[in-house]
Chain A
Amino acid sequence: MARANASRFRFNPPGWFLLLPAVLFLIAFFVLPLVDDGLRSIRADDGSLTLARYVAILSDRFYLGVIVETVALSSAVTVICVLIGYPVAYHLVRRAGCWSALIVFLLIAPLLTSIIMRTFGWQVLFARRGLINTLLVQDLGLLEQPLRILNTPGLAIAALVHVLVPFMVLSIAAVLQGIDQRLEEGAQVLGASRWRTFVEITLPLSLDGIGTGAILVFMIANGSFVTLALLGGGFQTLPLFIFQQFNTTRDFGMASTMSTVLLVIAMACLYLQLRLVRRQGI
């Protein structure tokens, strides 16, 4: 009897019900804050609606330059990550053998350290009297004056690449792993050189991994703040300005406008990258 009652009241949720917690969480902590942010960007101090802040940003050559610099920096970091990450991923999947676990560990290990610690590490290494300059000037006597490496654009980019290249390697490696090696062997049996096999078989089949890695790296670089705030490099990017609007000028409306512009840029770039990858027929 008890069992009959239990089965009568058994709760059989529909499939969408299981999604409800995740959807509610996203609405509460992602969608609503974004809507609030958007509204704040178009609300004037007197409460009326205005696009003045967008006009101010998008019609000012200085701020347009900042937007271009933000996208250019993220793009440069993404391209460098592809150039460094692909060979590493290829070696990891095809050549490393028993060393692959060690390589994966070495890739992931830096991610276990705080980004602030890693950024300070760059300062210790490359300061005027840091490890590298001491080696070059005092120990080896190769230079008379220490090199000025910190606070240069190159080092800021290198630090961002250092942070982000594992995302690229792991994305590409996952796809390379899934490529049937018999396709490459077949091409070579039919007379294709190693290079041609790579260009016409391996690379096209791994574009999906490059696309995924590029999207990840670009998005994170686009919003990166700590590395650029600490290592400088003279870059003026939107995340630095958003922080400044909050921390120094307390112009929350402008901060919201900048963050909305950054979001739109990120989404536009995401769309373009997805189209680019899909156009390859992957």
Chain B
Amino acid sequence: MTMLTRRRLLQTGAGAGLMLAGASRMAMGQARTLNVTAYGGVWETTIRSCFVAPFEAKTGAKATVSLGSPAQWLAQVEASPAKPPLDVLIMTPDLAITAAQADRMQDFTVEKIPNLAKIPRQFTDACLGKGTYFDYGVAGITYNKKTVPNPPKSFAEFVDRVAAGDFVASVPSITYAVTPIMLIWAMAQALGGSVENVDPFFDAMKKMKKNLLFWSGPNDFFNHLASGEADLGIYFDGRTWNHYDEGATWIDFVNPKEGGALAAVAIQIPKNADPLAFAYLNEVLDAQNQTRFAEVMNYAVTNEDVVYSAKLKPRITPWQQAAFPPYEKIAAVRNGWVDRWNREIGR
């Protein structure tokens, strides 16, 4: 009869551990695993069903989805550029330029990603050829139909009527990463300014100050409207329609006549990422997959072959009707704008 001693127990445990480690390595060898990224919530589930599932079916590889934010993902890649922990990054357009300029990302070509041929060249150029946009929305005026029966049709009217006290408006705070583009640049541009001159924006904010609220995140904006704290604000078309479909039928959206800022989602592949990332990218840019993605997310997608449903089509603002931000120029002056906001506006 064998006595179970402590030493034997340890030896058995160590042996079992080694066997398990070996088995998992064998399993890893059989199926490569790609690490892709997504925002949380419905974004994640839609990324999984529309892009990850077809990728896995075609390649036999696996893809794990990391949740977070572009600034966090880029920092992770910058911390380990030789062996990036993420193979595909969802990025904001300005961060995509920052990453491209730092030479952290791989070139996008039709040879590597055949579906790239169906994406407007402007979107790849906007990422300096090291990424492209795969969906976009427009940051315009979202309002509560019950309290704003006659919504402002332009940024200029928005500013005048909020300053006059007709409405309380909720606009993104400076802690929200895209605020310099969707609010500072877009409003400055609409009011006669430019990247070099954002005085019109800061003047407008001073005029509206008494009737202004700030949202820190998209859910925060919806709470402002739903609770009646604000009547309208600067927000995204796609998210507006998501709220509408979830039962908030009192909500509506206007693309200001000057054109709301294009709020695109960029996608990039870090240098030294798994080459399978290009196969995944091809699925992300595929017309059929993008159509399904658009139907769930209520956002426009970038493949030119996509045909939107009758329900979605009137909700989509074509990118040609939006204001295309000069991201590269904005990136160069963004920190100065943020500093000025801190000093003149507060939060």
Contact = CB atoms under 8 A, between A and B. Distances in A.
Contact of A232 (B180, B228, B347): B347
A250 B176 CA distance: 12
Given A127-B228, A234-B346, A235-B347, A247 B69 contact: yes
Interface stretch (A84-92, A165-173, A236-244): A236-244
A236 B216 contact: no
Nearest to A127: B227
B147 to A, nearest CB: 9
A281 B98 CA distance: 57
B248 interface: no
A198 interface: no
Interface stretch (B109-117, B197-205, B334-342): B334-342
A200 interface: no
B179 A248 contact: yes
A229 B168 contact: no
B338 A244 contact: yes
Given A244-B174, A248-B175, A250-B98, A230 B229 contact: no
B342 A236 contact: yes
Contacts of A240: 175, 347
B177 interface: yes
Given A62-B343, A240-B347, A243-B175, A129 B228 contact: yes
Nearest to B212: A151
B223 interface: yes
A241 B177 contact: no
B175 A232 contact: no
Contact of A248 (B74, B98, B177): B177
A109 to B, nearest CB: 23
B334 A249 contact: yes
Chain A interface residue count: which class? 20 to 34
Given A124-B227, A128-B227, A232-B214, A251 B335 contact: yes
Contacts of B173: 229, 232
Contacts of B174: 244, 248
Interface in A213-259: 229-230, 232, 234-236, 240-241, 243-244, 246-252
B71 interface: yes
B228 A230 contact: no
Given A229-B175, A230-B216, A249 B228 contact: no
B346 A236 contact: yes
A129 B180 CA distance: 30
A246 B98 CA distance: 14
B42 to A, nearest CB: 18
A249 B338 contact: yes
Chain B interface residue count: which class? 20 to 34
B103 interface: no
Contacts of A229: 173, 175, 216
Nearest to A9: B7
Contacts of A244: 174-175, 338, 342
Nearest to A62: B343
B213 interface: yes
A120 B226 CA distance: 12
A234 B214 CA distance: 10
A251 B176 CA distance: 15
Contact of A247 (B168, B175, B335): B175
B223 A241 contact: no
B338 A127 contact: no
A128 B168 contact: yes
Interface in A133-159: 150-151
B223 A120 contact: yes
Interface string B33-77: 000000000000000000000000000000000000101001100
A127 B228 CA distance: 6
Contacts of A249: 334-335, 338
Given A240-B175, A247-B175, A130 B346 contact: no
A150 B229 contact: yes
Nearest to B98: A250
A251 B342 CA distance: 15
Contact of A234 (B175, B229, B347): B347
A43 to B, nearest CB: 14
A123 interface: yes
A224 to B, nearest CB: 14
Contacts of A250: 71, 74, 95, 98
Given A247-B69, A247-B71, A130 B227 contact: yes
Nearest to B179: A248
A127 B216 contact: no
B160 interface: no
Interface in B323-338: 334-335, 338
B305 interface: no
Interface in B185-227: 213-214, 216, 220, 223-224, 227
Given A124-B227, A129-B229, A235-B347, 6 more contacts: A127-B228, A128-B227, A128-B229, A229-B175, A234-B346, A250-B71
For the complex of A and B, list the 7 residue pairs with the smallest distance between their C-beta atoms, beginning with the closest.
A129-B228, A127-B227, A127-B229, A249-B335, A229-B216, A128-B228, A128-B229
Interface of B: 69, 71, 74-75, 95, 98, 168, 173-177, 179-180, 213-214, 216, 220, 223-224, 227-229, 334-335, 338, 342-343, 346-347
10 contacts: A120-B223, A127-B224, A151-B229, A232-B213, A234-B346, A247-B177, A248-B334, A248-B338, A249-B334, A250-B74
